[in-house]
Amino acid sequence: MTALVPPFTHETAAAKVRMAEDGWNSRDPQRVALVYTQDSRWRNRVEFPVGRAEIEAFLTRKWAKELDYRLIKELWAFADNRIAVRFAYEWHDDSGQWFRSYGNENWEFDADGLMMRRFASINDMPIQESERKFHWPLGRRPDDHPGLSELGL
């Protein structure tokens, strides 16, 4: 495969999305923060982290709250140095209430393939544990696990 840098092809954009999904499913804030530029700018709900240190702190707080987090991302569109993604993830809080969070992200990359900007819009829907669809062991989603479209999400 060619390098995962702009300008993206369908193949490289889809691989970039899967690589991001794998990173986030690791729930390792340090590992995830390394794919962003030093001065990366985010919008995530009502938070606006800037730079790797703030991104890492944000992710540390996120995964302390969102327990048993499992995420699926899907390529929506791409052009030049931008990728649009839709996603869903399941998690529960410390009281045991499960949620499915749905959203869209717009990404912009520098010439080295590091993400300069990430704009996320996310909605949380409470679900019963019996309504969960993401059942793989914590970590990377298995290759044979259905994606969002196959799950009807």
pTM of the full structure: 0.95
Given a contact cutoff of 8 angstroms between Cβ atoms, the answer to whether 62 and 86 are in contact is no
Q: So what's the pLDDT on residue 3?
A: 76
Given a contact cutoff of 8 angstroms between Cβ atoms, the answer to whether 11 and 1 are in contact is yes
Query: Does domain 10-131 correspond to CATH entry 3.10.450.50?
Result: yes
The CA distance from 56 to 27, in Å, is 11
DSSP-assigned letter for residue 142: P
- Please state the length of the chain: 153
DSSP-assigned letter for residue 132: -
Domain edges within the chain: 10-131
List the pLDDT tens digit at each of the 153 positions of the chain: 567 999 999 999 999 999 999 999 999 999 999 999 999 999 999 999 999 999 999 999 999 999 999 999 999 999 999 999 999 999 999 999 999 999 999 999 999 999 999 999 999 999 999 999 999 999 999 999 999 999 999
